[in-house]
């Protein structure tokens, strides 16, 4: 089932309610659903061009990997972002910017050796290093939160 169809199904069953441009879990469904750490699902459109420009600006200029400049052209980045956001609608522009920033910082620590081209980092052959990076950052944040809670006891 596609995300849009799933949202409509959950909305029809009164599990989700629409608030502005997003869906949230209804009060009647909350006791039956584990919503800790969950995100609301945005249905608004993302300004792809603006997001592409912002993450391109995070990438270093003049750096090559495998003979290619790592800073992919704007049009390529926009095209990859469109596919990425259709495949992973749960990720926000902030999630994407944080992951790209973290990746660029990590690569800078090794003089950008083996850095992926931005377009390939976003999506290549149906796989996304960006999605994996976001998931790992979220898992690290969750571990830190758990460690903090454990220390506070």
Q: Mean pLDDT throughout 30-58?
A: 72
Q: For residue 23, which phi and psi values (nearest 5 degrees)? A: -105, 140
Q: For residue 137, which phi and psi values (nearest 5 degrees)? A: -65, -40
Mean of pLDDT over the chain = 82
Q: Mean pLDDT throughout 6-25?
A: 74
Query: For residue 29, is pLDDT > 70?
Result: no
pLDDT the model gives residue 146: 66
Which of 40-49, 56-65, 90-99 shows the lowest mean pLDDT across its residues?
Answer: 40-49
Query: For residue 111, is pLDDT > 60?
Result: yes
Return the number of other C-beta atoms located less than 10 Å from residue 108's C-beta. 12
Query: For residue 107, is pLDDT > 60?
Result: yes
């Amino acid at each position: 089932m596609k995300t849009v169809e799933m949202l409509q199904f959950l909305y029809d069953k009164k599990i989700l309610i629409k608030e502005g441009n997003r869906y949230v879990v209804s009060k009647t469904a909350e006791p039956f659903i584990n919503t800790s750490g969950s995100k609301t699902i945005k249905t608004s459109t993302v300004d792809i061009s603006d997001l592409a420009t912002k993450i391109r600006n995070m990438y270093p200029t003049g750096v090559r990997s495998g003979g290619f400049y790592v800073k992919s052209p704007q049009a390529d980045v926009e095209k990859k972002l469109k596919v990425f956001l259709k495949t992973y609608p749960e990720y926000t522009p902030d999630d994407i910017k944080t992951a790209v920033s973290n990746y660029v910082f990590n690569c800078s620590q090794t003089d950008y050796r083996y850095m992926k081209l931005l377009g390939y980092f976003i999506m290549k052959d149906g796989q996304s290093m960006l999605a994996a990076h976001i998931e790992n950052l979220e898992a690290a944040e969750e571990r830190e939160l758990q460690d903090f809670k454990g220390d506070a006891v």
